[in-house]
Amino acid sequence: QITLKESGPTLVKPTQTLTLTCTFSGFSLSTTGVGVGWIRQPPGKALEWLALIYWDDDKRYSPSLKSRLTISKDTSKNQVVLTMTNMDPVDTATYYCAHIPPSTVTTSSEYFHHWGQGTLVTVSS
């Protein structure tokens, strides 16, 4: 059974750096083709993809946020960490991490198979 759980601060001040951790079980990020992604959702709004990391440390970022994001993994701890710098009130959202099923050499399966419950991050002074 695959589970994921996000953790991190619920409140950050403008200009601060947000660090979120996704702790997962039921799969390994050392398995070929597997990935973990981060998606956020402002209150009452749509989903927005942020970043993803693959088993081989391949990293992808949203072009609009790339300068502010860093994603990393600790395979031994079954964790993926996302940092976002220079937080602003518009970054207030529920942040989700999600499992990406194994891709193959010929087929990239970048959809989100299992999701964490999400963590609400509020940016306010």
Partner 1 sequence: DIVMTQSPDSLAVSLGERATINCKSSQSVLYSSNNKNYLAWYQQKPGQPPKLLMYWASTRESGVPDRFSGGGSGTDFTLTISGLQAEDVAVYYCQQYYTTPPITFGQGTRLEIK
Our finding on whether 57 is near partner 1 (CB under 8 A) is no
Q: Are 98 and 24 in contact (CB under 8 A)?
A: no
Could you give phi then psi for residue 85, rounded to 5 degrees?
-90, 165
Q: What three-state secondary structure class fits 7?
A: strand
Our finding on whether 112 is near partner 1 (CB under 8 A) is yes
Which residue stretch of 12-20, 22-30, 76-84, 115-123 sits at the interface with partner 1 (rule: CB under 8 A)?
Answer: 115-123
Q: Are 55 and 66 in contact (CB under 8 A)?
A: no
Please state, in angstroms and rounded to a whole number, the distance separating the CA atoms of residues 32 and 109: 12
What is the closest distance, in whole angstroms, from the C-beta atom of residue 49 to partner 1 in the complex?
4
Which residue stretch of 9-17, 23-31, 45-53, 85-93 sits at the interface with partner 1 (rule: CB under 8 A)?
Answer: 45-53
Interface positions with partner 1 (CB under 8 A)? 37, 46-49, 52, 60-64, 96, 106-118
